[in-house]
């Protein structure tokens, strides 16, 4: 079945640093989604991408839909303590497919 891989699995960074994480798939997706989950809460949608090559920003977050349709990237600039959480990528093939979630990247920010 379809699977997503996320790297790195976890990150420990200094406040103010930029963060990069990525998500890869063995199959093509037509939609890429990035979620953030804070401790004890449900995941919240950050960015949705619908076209190959698309670059979309949400504040300090920028995500890109890879041109091969098999990967996506999320960057966070100038990290702050409230960026702490688990970041999940998710993808969907056709509109009728279920969304597939990656295993997550755990981000810790050291003040």
For residues 23 and 80, give the distance between their C-alpha atoms in angstroms, rounded to a whole number.
22
Q: Which of 23, 76, 90, 109 binds other proteins (CB under 8 A)?
A: 90
Torsion sign (Cα): 16, 37, 31, 48: negative
Per-residue x/- mask for other proteins, residues 11 to 50, rule CB under 8 A?
Answer: --------------------x-x-x----xxxxxx--x-x
Does 88 engage in binding with other proteins (CB under 8 A)? yes
Q: 17 — phi, psi (to 5°)?
A: -75, 155
For residues 69 and 51, give the distance between their C-alpha atoms in angstroms, rounded to a whole number.
8
Q: Which residues would be at the binding site for other proteins (CB under 8 A)?
A: 31, 33, 35, 40-45, 48, 50, 86, 88, 90, 92, 95-96, 98-99, 101-104, 106
């Amino acid at each position: 079945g379809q699977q997503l891989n996320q790297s790195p699995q976890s990150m420990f960074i200094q406040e103010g640093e930029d963060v990069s994480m990525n998500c890869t798939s063995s199959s093509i997706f037509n939609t890429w989604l990035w979620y953030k989950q804070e401790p004890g809460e449900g995941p919240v949608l950050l960015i949705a991408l619908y076209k190959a090559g698309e670059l979309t920003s949400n504040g300090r977050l920028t995500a890109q839909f890879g041109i091969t349709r098999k990967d996506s990237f999320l960057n966070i600039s100038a990290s702050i303590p409230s960026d702490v959480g688990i970041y999940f990528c998710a993808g969907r093939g056709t509109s009728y497919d279920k969304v597939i979630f990656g295993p997550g990247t755990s981000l810790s920010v050291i003040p």
